[in-house]
């Protein structure tokens, strides 16, 4: 089966204008890259709600109307992770509104939920007989918000991968491992503007692969980071950069879609489909520009122990 993964996505600025005009316009330039995969997943880095609400007191807050899920569905997005440092920017009322809107649009949401069990649980799919589980969690959060935003037994919130919550996430992976063919985890992790993974990212990947994850994908740095195979056969995508992101510019405008083909627990093929963000929208690159962008993406392997080909 084929997967398409894309990075940080919100609906600020020009993207918000397009969303108000016609949700199908927002990701139209990359619809053919997203909609042709069996499962397409992005990091939705914004609160989504039509409830007025109050913004969390922090430097950057993002909010999109619930038509955001219509835009995602129109482009072929099947699932999003909202486990990131913006998922609860407009509180728990906003979270409830987002979950209801996603359900109406037919988009699965992971990494966030009405309680701890739902937030840490995977979305499960069966595609042509292949059973797959998709998890979402964040290893990035402002200190005061770690406990405030974490989902609890009787409280909505996010799935975390910080501290002992990494053990909780690993335990959920071990629980579902015997029941599915492929386990994928989409994490919010790393350091902003870094193009090489941190020791923490490597440690978290080690922990999740040991628990049974076959693919670990990440975002947050707003820069591209390497993707490839480890010596044990698992596949890690350390950072997909920005995808649809209003403030992206310079290196932050380098974007694209990571396309994987999985067969049971093995990733048998991987492709990077480069794009460049203009006015917030990812625009696929063509010909020589795409070749140069692909070469740059491949060069990011230099600061990792990943390889470009299956081992």
Q: Based on C-alpha coordinates, what's the Rg of the chain? A: 18
Residue 15 lies in a domain: yes
Residue 177: per-residue pLDDT: 98
Q: Looking at the 3D structure of the chain, how many domains does it have?
A: 1
Residue pair 224/239 in contact (Cβ under 8 Å)? The answer is: yes
Residue 310 lies in a domain: no
pLDDT tens-digit readout, 50-59: 999 899 999 9
Residue 248: per-residue pLDDT: 85
| Residues near 83 by beta carbon (within 8 Å), at least 6 away in sequence | 110, 111, 112, 119, 136, 137, 138, 158, 159, 160, 186, 187, 188
pLDDT tens-digit readout, 267-297: 999 999 999 999 999 999 988 899 999 999 9
How crowded is the C-beta side of 145, counted as CA atoms within 13 Å? 23
Domain of 137 in residue numbering reads as 2-303
Round the average pLDDT of the chain to a whole number and report it.
97
Residue pair 293/285 in contact (Cβ under 8 Å)? The answer is: yes
Residue pair 187/239 in contact (Cβ under 8 Å)? The answer is: no
Distances (CA, A) of 24 to 6, 105, 121, 275, 278: 17, 13, 30, 19, 17
| Residues near 106 by beta carbon (within 8 Å), at least 6 away in sequence | 73
Here the CATH number for the domain that contains residue 272 is 3.60.21.10
| Average pLDDT value for residue range 153-166 | 97
Q: For the CA atoms of 217, 220, 222, 223, what is the dihedral angle to 10 degrees?
A: -40
pLDDT tens-digit readout, 185-218: 999 999 999 999 999 999 999 999 999 999 999 9
Predicted TM-score (pTM) of the model is 0.98
How crowded is the C-beta side of 34, counted as CA atoms within 13 Å? 29
Residue 311 lies in a domain: no
Residue ranges with strand state E in the chain: 2-9, 39-44, 47-48, 63-64, 79-81, 108-110, 112-113, 123-127, 130-138, 157-158, 182-188, 215-219, 227-229, 235-237, 242-244, 254-263, 266-278, 281-284
Q: How far apart are CA 98 and CA 223, in angstroms?
A: 27
Say yes or no to pLDDT of 247 above 90.
no
Residue pair 11/45 in contact (Cβ under 8 Å)? The answer is: no
Residue 162: per-residue pLDDT: 96
Residue 309 lies in a domain: no
Q: For the CA atoms of 296, 302, 308, 311, what is the dihedral angle to 10 degrees?
A: 180
**C-alpha angle 169-298-35 in degrees, rounded to nearest 5:** 65
Residue 287: per-residue pLDDT: 85
Say yes or no to pLDDT of 311 above 90.
no
Supply φ then ψ for residue 95, to 5 degrees: -60, -45
Residue 288: per-residue pLDDT: 87
Place of tokens 């923490």: 200
Residue 265: per-residue pLDDT: 96
Q: If you ran DSSP here, which 8-state letter would residue 251 be given?
A: G
Say yes or no to pLDDT of 134 above 80.
yes
Say yes or no to pLDDT of 159 above 80.
yes
Residue pair 240/270 in contact (Cβ under 8 Å)? The answer is: no
Number of H helices, E strands in the chain: 9, 18
For 100, counting Cβ atoms within 10 Å of its Cβ (0-12 exposed, 13-18 middle, 19+ buried), the class is middle
């Amino acid at each position: 089966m084929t997967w398409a993964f894309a990075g940080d996505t919100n609906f600020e600025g020009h993207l918000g204008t397009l969303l108000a005009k016609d949700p199908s316009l927002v990701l139209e330039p990359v619809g053919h890259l997203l909609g042709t995969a069996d499962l397409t997943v992005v990091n939705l880095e914004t609160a989504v709600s039509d409830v007025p609400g109050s913004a969390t007191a922090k430097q950057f807050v993002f909010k999109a109307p619930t038509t955001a899920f219509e835009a995602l569905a129109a482009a072929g997005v099947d699932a999003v992770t909202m486990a990131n440092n913006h998922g609860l920017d407009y509180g728990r009322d906003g979270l409830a509104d987002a979950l209801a809107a996603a359900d109406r649009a037919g988009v699965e949401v992971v990494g966030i939920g009405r309680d701890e069990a739902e937030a840490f649980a995977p979305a499960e799919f069966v595609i042509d007989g292949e059973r797959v589980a998709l998890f979402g969690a964040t290893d990035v959060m402002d200190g005061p918000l770690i406990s405030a935003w974490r989902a609890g037994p009787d409280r909505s919130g996010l799935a975390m991968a910080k501290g002992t919550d990494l053990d909780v996430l690993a335990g959920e992976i071990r629980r579902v491992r015997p029941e599915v063919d492929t386990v994928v985890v989409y994490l919010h992790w790393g350091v902003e503007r870094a193009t090489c993974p941190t020791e923490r990212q490597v440690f978290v990947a080690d922990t999740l692969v040991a628990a049974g994850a076959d693919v670990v994908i990440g975002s947050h740095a707003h820069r591209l980071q390497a993707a490839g195979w480890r010596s044990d056969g698992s596949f890690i995508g350390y950072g997909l950069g920005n995808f649809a992101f209003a403030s992206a510019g310079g290196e932050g405008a380098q974007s694209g879609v990571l396309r994987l083909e999985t067969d049971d627990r093995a990733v048998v093929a991987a492709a990077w489909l480069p794009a460049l963000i203009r006015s917030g929208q990812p625009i696929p690159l063509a010909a020589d520009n795409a070749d140069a962008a692909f070469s740059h993406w491949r060069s990011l392997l230099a600061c990792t122990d990943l390889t470009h080909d299956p081992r």
